[in-house]
């Protein structure tokens, strides 16, 4: 953890009580900007943390909507069987070419820009069944709306 602290140089016999007090105040400020490993408050973030491509490890399983989910929780949720997801909005970007075939038992949905399958604005879905057969269907024909 990097703490921002710059000490005032005090040379032997030349430093004053004021210089020492300034250093102690700066140390106190730098330490108060660090996160407590024991949970001493205040202990909350006021800026993003750049993980520099490192991982968070030993994360507890999420128990409410504001907790981070673990990889194990995600696998147990989507690993097998059927699932329903409720969303308020789905945004699709136009694709200049068809997406790759989805893996067995999966599907992919996209909006055509007219250069691949479908006319500009059409909503399409590619589905690969359990035997590995892939089919594409038009869910919304934009010209009929």
Q: What are the residues facing 95 on neighbouring strands?
A: 112
- In this structure, the strands spanning 106-112 and 94-95 are parallel
Distance CA 93, CA 89 (A): 13
pLDDT in tens, the chain (145 residues): 456 667 777 776 656 777 778 888 888 887 777 777 787 777 788 888 888 899 888 989 989 988 888 888 887 776 655 556 677 777 777 777 888 898 898 888 989 998 888 999 999 999 999 999 999 999 999 999 8
Chain-centre distance for alpha carbon 104: 26
């Amino acid at each position: 953890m990097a703490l921002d602290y710059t000490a005032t140089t005090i040379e032997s016999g030349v430093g004053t009580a004021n210089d020492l007090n300034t250093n102690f105040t700066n140390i106190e400020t730098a330490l108060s900007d660090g996160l407590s490993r024991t949970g001493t408050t205040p202990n909350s973030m006021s800026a993003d943390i750049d993980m520099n491509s490192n991982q968070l490890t030993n994360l507890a399983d999420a128990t409410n909507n504001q907790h981070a989910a673990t990889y194990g929780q995600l696998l147990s949720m989507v690993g097998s069987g059927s699932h329903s997801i409720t969303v308020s909005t789905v945004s699709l970007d136009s694709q200049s070419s068809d997406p790759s075939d989805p893996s067995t038992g999966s599907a992919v949905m996209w909006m055509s820009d007219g250069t691949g399958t479908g006319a500009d604005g059409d909503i399409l879905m590619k589905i690969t069944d359990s035997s590995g057969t892939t089919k594409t269907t038009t869910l919304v024909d934009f010209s009929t709306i």
